[in-house]
Structure 1
């Protein structure tokens, strides 16, 4: 698959993932994954290590959302890199979701945003899986054209 269709598929998955995360966190604040919180913590650490001034909360949130879509879009671009896009999307989505549950603690970002409850853990994996499947479906559709 060519670069532009792969990018389109990847960013479609990333946008779907971000919309799902943001919608559910407003509907189920008690146990929805808070990947936005993890992203903001990570950015605060990066700004601190670079001796840059800390942005205000709204700016930090906006930067986090942009970074999420960019990084997840580039990650999900791998879905469109060949045949079996849906299978690749499923596997990459599950891997990203598992990483979202397992890595924040060891990275010093805290565990609660993605590990607060068993439902939070399941939703974290499920939402990334949905993003991967959306990317796979878009890649498959674009491949047929």
Structure 2
């Protein structure tokens, strides 16, 4: 498997882990971050800025979820650049910085930060979940690489 494909596979794994945690937690805790609300606001404002209508209801949620998975996949895929020896450390770094960015940059980007900063616990959960996404991405990249090192390529693309 080409390194780029391995990185994308890991990035997708990290994005899926992140979104599963977000979606599950919001059903169990009112303090859970609502990054989906930030994404919906960003998508709506972006579409309105170019004169397009934004979807509403389930269509808005689905579109935002798809965009979130795609963007987080690409972000986490960057963990795969560099040496194999530092994958988990890079995964932790990328995840940590994404979480800190979600907490610290949302308002600076013109979006409501309340969904990710409403309590201290919300802030900690936001950072922790992005960190877990980065670690999941790096772990998948590492394990695919180890498998290929001992068994040969998974895909010949």
Q: Same fold (TM over 0.5)?
A: yes
Trace 1:29-108 onto structure 2 (pairs within 5 A): 30-82=30-82, 83=84, 84-108=86-110
Give the corresponding residue for 1:135. 137
Structure 1 ranges of 4+ moved more than 2 A:
none
| TM superposition score normalised by structure 1 | 0.96
Shift of residue 27, structure 1, vs aligned partner: 0.9
Whole-Å Cα distance in 2 between the matches of residues 94 and 54 of structure 1? 31
Note the C-alpha offset of 1:100. 0.4
User: What is the aligned partner in structure 2 of residue 24 from structure 1?
Assistant: 25
Please tell me whether residue 5 in structure 1 is matched to residue 6 in structure 2. Answer: yes
Q: Is the 8 A contact 2:116 2:122 kept in 1?
A: yes
The equivalent of 2:111 in structure 1 is: 109
- Bigger Rg, which one: 2
Task: Give unpaired runs (5+ residues) of structure 1.
Answer: none
In structure 2, distance between residues paired with 1:21 and 1:57: 18
Residue number in structure 1 paired with 2:127: 125
RMSD across aligned positions (CA)? 0.9
**2:151 maps to which residue?**
none
